[in-house]
Structure 1
Amino acid sequence: MILNYTRHNLFWLLDRIKGNTIKKLLNEITFCIENPNSIKAKQVKDAHLKRLIAHSVKTTPYYKPFGDATDISDFPVIRKTTIQDNFKAFQSKKFKDKTNFKVSTSGSTGVPFFLFQNKNKRHRNHADAIYFYNQSDFKIGNKLYELEVWRNHNKKDALKSWLQNIVQFDVSRLTEDRIKTFLELLKLDKQSKKTLLGFASAYEMIAQYLEKNNLVLKDLGLTSAIANSEYLNSYTKTTLGKHLNTTVLSRYSSEEIGIIAQQTIDSPNCFVINEASYHIELLQLDNDLPAERGDFGRIIVTDLFNYAMPIIRYDTGDIAKLGEHKNGIKVFTQIEGRKMDLIYDSKGNMMSSFVVYTKFYKYYHLLKQYQFIQQGEKTYDIKLNLQGDTFPFEDDLIADIKSDFGEDAVIHIIYVDEIPALASGKRRKVINNYKKS
């Protein structure tokens, strides 16, 4: 489409006028991610880390005591609460009076959170996004459908949306009528290449609707569907991909940091780690030693480009397993939900949230929503929002859950009319209200 081609060229023309800021960053990101073992890539990443550390210890009160540190491991692991409790101490004196940008999370883990980013960090995030969009078969100028909760604080105006070729589709209440409206938009859109970006929970509800109505839409021109903000389960990945005739990919990112890793067309089942913009560590679950290869470890991120509020060794609250793709590219072979929402069987053994998701696949045609909550050491609540009036498989579901969580598990099934989304529009499938000592 000529208009999309014009949009693409106009974007890069404007960047060239501004000194090729995004282009230069994109070239570096591409090289460092795709040639991780080259001497040049290692030198570039090492230089970024050293500059960040030198800047942090010289200009921020929090990191000043670590001026003699010789290695990244000499710095403490921090969490959201660390930054909240020492907010001013994390701000760089050098950037306090410069133009910075406030970024925040919705507090989906119960901890609302914000920090500041400097201008170059924003440019880096932009270049990161372009790189991973490219790896998802999306090019600037093509149509992008963003499925999110759109309100005054984040919604683009009509002109900007048109210029960027973006459709902002609100999923705060994704009823069947809203899903029909969305699918009609896709079918009526004559652009030959388009991509989806949205909440995994929204994708799941659309997948359930498509499967229930046996709809397969083959000629939509969808190059990919990228899920962000939430865990993408295998049912949604497979079912949505099949019914929309596209590849469904998962993005691991956060508002306060950026894109940490993402599945790509070339790596659809593993998350390519953004080593160009972040120093990533995987630490053991109960201490700050490196996790063994093949074991779950806590994801610890050092942001190499936020100089306004340097973030060194930040515990994201998520866990993953590390692996390797072709050319030595590091990947997460598996990412689990937030560490605080990991669940345990009746004997206190940690369980993968994936185990929970598999219990409900066979009942998706009967369910609008579900939620699994660990309330105590052996007590679990299951909330079900039904498609119809009855659920004749209570005994089967309870027995299936007990087979993994323990025969002495106490399981309550609770029927509800709605499982509301969080303020962000995200929906938590697995919740742990029990604190394991």
Structure 2
Amino acid sequence: MLLNFARQKFFWLIDGFKGGYIKNQLSEIKLGIEQPNSEKAKQTKKTHIKALIKHAVETTPFYKNYNSDSSLSDFPVIRKTIIQENFKQFQSRSFIDKENFKVSTSGSTGVPFFLFQNQNKRHRNHADAVYFYDQSNFKIGNRLYELEVWRDHNKKGKLKSWLQNIIQFDISRLTDARIRTFLNLLKSDKQPKTILGFASALEMITQYLERNNLYLKDLKITSVIANSEYLNPYTKTTLNKHLDTTILSRYSSEEIGIIAQQTLKAPNRFVINHASYQIELLNLDNDLPAQPGAFGRIVITDLFNYAMPIIRYDTGDIAKLGIDENGITYFSQIDGRKMDLIFDSKGNMLSSFVVYTKFYKYYHLLKQYQFIQQGKKEYEVKLNLQEDTFKFEDALIADIKSDFGEDAVVSITYVDEIPALSSGKRRKVINNYN
């Protein structure tokens, strides 16, 4: 569309007037992500790491006792609680009086957390987003549907939404009627469009489409990107079938940025943002590197936030690393938060993926579900039903015991609603025991 082309030109015109901060970083981002093992990319990253360490040591109280020539491995792994308890110690005195941006998240635990970002970090995040959107067949100026919980603190004004061609669709209460409203919007919108939204919202839309046997073609959906939560295989494959488009998953956070994302070229791998972050995968019980193929904790050094330098930040999430044919590392699997790992009755760790598979066959009967480990051998399943009764209790319990142990004690609780966190995210798997 001509108007969308005009929006794209206007975006780059404004960026040019501001100094081309976004456009000038795209070539470095592309090289750093697609050829991170090239000499130029490695030297560029080495320069960024060295500069960040020097800045952190010289301008922040928290890092003042470290050496400017230290390597990243000399620094401690930090967690969200450490930053919260020492917030001012992480602030760079060089940026305290400058224009910074507050970024916040409630997190999957519902505990508020925020950081400050400097202007250049914001530009870098925008450039990262442009790159990964491009890898998802979304072009600046095209229509973007954002499925989120929209409130005064995050909602864009009407003019800004129009200029950016964004439809902000609220998912606070995603009833069948609300889903029908969304689908009708897609049908009536004849321009190319991309959907970005919470994985749990996409799952509920998928369940609705499946229950009603709806297959929507020719909607001009270039791709669907799930963010903020784990995208299970059922939603990825089934929504693809019903909307006739590619479903991708993005791993990002409000306080950091886009860390990794599946792309059209690699729809089943999480391409790591090697350009903007130094990413480590450490063992679950110590700070040594995890082996490829083993679960480890995602630890991130943000190379561009100078307002609050964050070195070796444990995100609380776990993943597995893979190495492609060019020797480039990627995440083969991202499995949610370490705090919500679950264990069988013998104490062996299980992937949350095991839980999701237990419910696929019942999706047409469920509005929501939640799996909670309440004790070493005690597990509770909460079900919010489409109908009044669920005839498969025994079969579901037997299926759970097949993986969690025949001595597992499984109870089923029926509820009218499984509330979301204040962020709008929904925790499918919870460990209240360990």
Taking structure 2 as the reference length, what is the TM-score of the superposition?
Answer: 0.99
**SS at structure 1 position matched to 2:140:** coil
| 1:43 alignment partner in structure 2 | 43
Query: What secondary structure is seen at the aligned counterpart in 1 of 2:311?
Result: coil
- Provide the rounded CA distance (Å) in 1 between the counterparts of 2:320 and 2:189: 39
Tell me, yes or no, if the aligned pair for 1:272 and 1:329 is still in contact at 8 Å: no
The one-letter amino acid paired with 1:31 is L
Give the deviation of 1:327 after TM superposition: 3.7
Match in the other structure for 1:185: 185
1:4 aligned onto 2:4 = yes
Using the TM superposition, give the Cα deviation of residue 108 of structure 1 relative to its aligned residue in structure 2, in angstroms.
2.4
Once the two structures are overlaid, the 10-residue window that deviates more, 256-265 or 69-78, is 69-78
Equivalent position amino acid for 2:312 in 1:
R
Equivalent-residue separation in structure 2 for 1:69 and 1:301 (angstroms)? 19
Letter in 2 for 1:141: G
SS in 1 for 2:347: coil
The 5 Å alignment of 1:20-169 reads 20-67=20-67, 70-169=70-169
Distance in 2 separating the partners of 1:103 and 1:72: 25
Instruction: Provide the residue aligned with 1:390 in structure 2.
Output: 389
Measured after TM superposition, the shift of residue 68 of structure 1 is 5.8
Task: Tell me how far 1:263 sits from its aligned partner.
Answer: 0.3
Amino acid at match of 1:115: L
Q: Does 1:283 align with 2:279?
A: no
> For the residues of structure 2 that align with 1:110 and 1:181, how far apart are their CA atoms?
29
- What's the offset of the Cα at 1:394? 0.3
Distance 2:222 2:332 in 1: 23
CA deviations on 1:193-252 (whole Å, 9 max, x unpaired) are 100000000000000000000000011000100000000000000111110011000000
* Distance (Å, rounded) in 1 between the aligned partners of 2:368 and 2:140: 35
Match of 2:291 in 1: 292
Give, in angstroms, the shift of residue 89 of structure 1: 0.4
Deviation at 1:35, TM superposition (A): 1.4
Distance 2:431 2:91 in 1: 33
In structure 2, what is the Cα distance between the partners aligned to 1:157 and 1:43? Answer: 42
- Write out per-residue CA displacement over residues 237-288 of structure 1, whole angstroms, 9 at most, x where no aligned residue: 0111110011000000000000000000001011000010000001111000
The number of aligned residues is 434
Name the structure 1 match of 2:379: 380
Looking at structure 2, the residues matched to 151 and 68 of structure 1 have their Cα atoms a distance apart, in angstroms, of 43
Structure 1 residue 424 displacement after superposition:
0.9
| Counterpart for residue 401 of structure 1 | 400
1:69 CA drift (Å): 5.4
Structure 2 unaligned regions, length at least 5? none
Cα distance between partner residues in 1 of 2:247 and 2:361: 21
Amino acid at match of 2:357: T
* Aligned partner letter, 1:132: F
1:301 has 2:300 as partner: yes
Q: How does 1:236-315 map to 2 (within 5 A)?
A: 236-315=235-314
Question: What's the RMSD between the two structures over aligned residues?
Answer: 0.9
1:224 equivalenced with 2:223 (yes/no): yes
- Distance in 2 of aligned mates of 1:110 and 1:186: 32
How far the C-alpha of 1:137 sits from its partner, in A, is: 0.3
Which 10-residue stretch deviates more, 18-27 or 61-70?
61-70
Q: Match of 1:66, SS?
A: coil
Amino acid at match of 1:419: I
| Secondary structure at the counterpart of residue 64 of structure 1 | coil
1:114 positional shift: 0.5
Aligned-partner Cα distance in 2 for 1:178–1:5:
31
How far apart are residue 324 of structure 1 and its match?
A: 2.4
Q: How far is the alpha carbon of 1:15 from its aligned partner?
A: 1.3
Counterpart code for 1:335: I
Q: CA deviation at 1:421?
A: 1.0
- Provide the C-alpha distance between the structure 2 equivalents of 1:300 and 1:346, rounded to a whole number of angstroms: 29
1:300–1:314 CA contact under 8 A, matched in 2: yes
**1:21 counterpart SS class:** coil
Tell me: CA distance 1:318–1:329, structure 2 relative to 1, closer, same or farther (3 Å). Answer: same
Could you tell me which amino acid in structure 2 is paired with residue 357 of structure 1? Answer: Y
Contact 2:53 2:70 in 1 (8 A): no
Q: Is the Cα contact below 8 Å between 1:36 and 1:328 reproduced in 2?
A: no
Distance, in Å, in 1 between the alignment partners of 2:240 and 2:8 is 27
Contact 2:203 2:235 in 1 (8 A): yes
Contact 1:147 1:197 in 2 (8 A): yes
- Contact map agreement 2:53 2:68 (CA 8 A) in 1: no
Contact kept? 1:108, 1:422, Cα under 8 Å: yes
**Structure 1, unaligned runs of 5 or more:** none
TM-score scaled to structure 1, two decimals? 0.98
Give me the whole-angstrom Cα distance separating, in 1, the residues matched to 2:107 and 2:351.
23
Query: In 1, are the aligned partners of 2:371 and 2:429 still within 8 Å (CA)?
Result: yes
The amino acid across from 1:318 in the alignment is D
User: What amino acid sits opposite 1:121 in the alignment?
Assistant: K
Distance in 1, matches of 2:125 and 2:6, equals: 24
Aligned to 1:359: 358
Question: 1:37 Cα shift?
Answer: 1.5
Amino acid in structure 2 at the alignment position of 1:306: N
CA contact (8 A) 1:282 1:300 kept: yes
